[in-house]
Amino acid sequence: MGDASESDLERAEGFKLQANEAFKAHRFFQAVDLYSQAIELNGLNAVYWANRAFAHTKLEEYGSAVQDATKAIEVDPKYSKGYYRRGAAYLAMGKFKEALKDFQQLKRICPNDPDAAKKLKECEKAVQKIRFEEAIAVDDASRPSVADSIDFHSIDVEPQYAGARIEGDVVTLDFVKKMIDDFRNQKSLHKRYAYQIVLQTRKMLQALPSLVDITVEDGTHFTVCGDVHGQFYDLLNIFELNGLPSDDNPYLFNGDFVDRGSFSLEVILTLFALKCMSPQGIHLARGNHESKSMNKIYGFEGEVRSKLSETFVELFAEVFCCLPLAHVINNKVLVVHGGLFSVDGVKLSDIRAIDRFHEPPEEGLMCELLWSDPQPQPGRGPSKRGVGLSFGGDVTKRFLQENNLDLVVRSHEVKDEGYEIDHDGKLITVFSAPNYCDQMGNKGAFIRFKAPQLKPDIISFSAVPHPDVKPMAYANNFLRMFS
């Protein structure tokens, strides 16, 4: 990146202006592409790097955002936006202590900027809170289960409660339909029944292996959905288009049920109630957002606290640790939330052997299953998210051959059409939250497989209206300051 000529500088500015327009129109992939062209022509302009960092942040590519913001700072150590963008990306990754350093530096560069002061103060509060929580934390293994301390039978239901009721121990279709209808009208479920559903689901999930085998009989079909992310009204639309889950119409929801969308509680209670009603009609896999650290930042914890109680926050965290990590359909199709591994030679038996009953670790097979992403080039590379890795088509092909499989289906990434086919057709990404976060303009999709061929039939759909509650309404204050 030597000295750029006059004409290069002008062309670079042109790309930047186009990129800014794409960004304003929420076309973030295009914005990244255009900023990259500007950087190629003039890599010594800190603004281009910081702007591309911001576009990466919008795409949840926080690892890449940190790299770009760092580059902006190297180019111009006094450029305040470099620290601001990097601090925001660290926050989104839950790296509060790293974020704090950047906001302290921001305050030094802009001592009189009230916004910088406010962000620094919020960041200090968040770090203090984390230090306090770490100081009083009990090791998970030695902590008694909150689920074991709850007796929902002893909770009285007030006579004036007019919502859905479970008679006895059986969750029926009538109950589920009434509950869904109440949720649609923004009414809540009595906490007695919420406890009953969550505890019953926990018991079922606990008994499952980490890798679940699914059999689809010849002539019947099976539907796989990707991330729903608290978009309850779009979930109902999937059921409108494709029928409610049942033994004859089975589904797999492939993780990231909660966070970001502000109807996450309604989504998770609906999925769990359907699981209670029809254990074979709906399968649930863990995503990277079914974890305490994510739920603390991206809204689920705040939403549960606001709509139910602190006890439910702990209970959901326990139940999320029981969710299986992967599913195999008819010994042919592997379905995981994120993707494949940093090492070759991983067998399905290795996935089966994972002890999953804890929060996701920062590395290893469980982490990679939940966090990895495919890349177009062969081999493996660092993750654009800063967790997990990126893996190429050769990695996918080898894994499938070694395990005698045909296809990997995964979710975890927003796609314009709701899906994307990669790695010579050996890998499909499916994402089921259309117009993600009310701003991405993408479609959602689900995949129907019909046995015996199991040829993927992909159906795309658009977003439907929802009540005026913004995404991230319950998220960490701190992150809301940046959205």
Q: Given this model, what pLDDT does residue 310 score?
A: 94
Q: Report whether 352 contacts 407 (CB < 8 A).
A: no
Mean pLDDT over all residues of the chain?
A: 95
Give the catalytic positions in this structure: 289
Question: Where residue 144 falls among pLDDT bands split at 50, 70, 90?
Answer: confident
6-136 against 147-480: fold identical: no
Name which of 74-83, 88-97, 190-199, 423-432 the model is least confident about: 88-97
Q: Check pLDDT > 60 for residue 12.
A: yes
Q: Given this model, what pLDDT does residue 128 score?
A: 86
Question: Where residue 133 falls among pLDDT bands split at 50, 70, 90?
Answer: confident
User: Which phi and psi (to 5°) does residue 328 adopt?
Assistant: -125, 125
Q: Report whether 414 contacts 439 (CB < 8 A).
A: no
Question: Where residue 271 falls among pLDDT bands split at 50, 70, 90?
Answer: very high
Q: What is the mean pLDDT of residues 40-50?
A: 97
Q: Check pLDDT > 90 for residue 141.
A: no
Domain ranges of the chain: 6-136, 147-480
Per-residue pLDDT tens digits for 274-304: 999 999 999 999 999 999 999 999 999 999 9
> If one looks up domain 6-136 in CATH, what number appears?
1.25.40.10
Distances (CA, A) of 279 to 235, 245, 357: 19, 10, 20
Question: Where residue 483 falls among pLDDT bands split at 50, 70, 90?
Answer: low
Question: Where residue 479 falls among pLDDT bands split at 50, 70, 90?
Answer: low
Q: What is the mean pLDDT of residues 117-142?
A: 80
Residue written as tokens 């090791």?
139
Q: Check pLDDT > 70 for residue 384.
A: yes
Q: What is the mean pLDDT of residues 419-436?
A: 98
Residue written as tokens 């010849």?
218
Q: Check pLDDT > 60 for residue 2.
A: no
Q: Is 372 helix (H, G, I), strand (E, B) or coil?
A: coil
Q: Report whether 317 contacts 310 (CB < 8 A).
A: no
Question: Where residue 137 falls among pLDDT bands split at 50, 70, 90?
Answer: confident
Per-residue pLDDT tens digits for 199-242: 999 999 999 999 999 999 999 999 999 999 999 999 999 999 99
Q: Report whether 221 contacts 252 (CB < 8 A).
A: no
pTM for the complete prediction? 0.95
CA 201, 207, 213, 218 torsion: positive or negative? negative
Q: What is the mean pLDDT of residues 391-404?
A: 98
CB < 8 Å & 24+ apart, contacts of 99-103: 99/123, 100/124, 100/127
Q: Given this model, what pLDDT does residue 298 score?
A: 94
Q: Is 286 helix (H, G, I), strand (E, B) or coil?
A: coil
Q: Given this model, what pLDDT does residue 96 score?
A: 87
CA 99 to chain centre: 21
Question: Where residue 480 falls among pLDDT bands split at 50, 70, 90?
Answer: low
Q: Given this model, what pLDDT does residue 478 score?
A: 64
Q: Given this model, what pLDDT does residue 185 score?
A: 97
Name which of 104-113, 233-242, 440-449 the model is least confident about: 104-113
Q: Report whether 228 contacts 234 (CB < 8 A).
A: yes
Question: Where residue 53 falls among pLDDT bands split at 50, 70, 90?
Answer: very high
Percent of the chain with pLDDT over 90: 89
Q: Given this model, what pLDDT does residue 482 score?
A: 62
Q: Report whether 325 contacts 286 (CB < 8 A).
A: yes
Q: Check pLDDT > 70 for residue 267.
A: yes
The CA dihedral of 471, 476, 479, 483, to the nearest 10 degrees, is 20
Q: What is the mean pLDDT of residues 19-31?
A: 95
Q: What is the mean pLDDT of residues 164-175?
A: 96
Q: Domain 147-480 has what CATH class?
A: alpha beta
Q: Given this model, what pLDDT does residue 173 score?
A: 98
Separation of first and last alpha carbons in the chain = 33
Q: What is the mean pLDDT of residues 331-337?
A: 98
Question: Where residue 47 falls among pLDDT bands split at 50, 70, 90?
Answer: very high
Q: Give the DSSP per-residue string, 25-75.
A: TT-HHHHHHHHHHHHHH-TT-HHHHHHHHHHHHHTT-HHHHHHHHHHHHHH
Q: What is the mean pLDDT of residues 153-166?
A: 96
Q: What is the mean pLDDT of residues 109-117?
A: 89
Helix extents (H) in 341-452: 348-352, 365-371, 393-402
Q: What is the mean pLDDT of residues 7-12?
A: 96
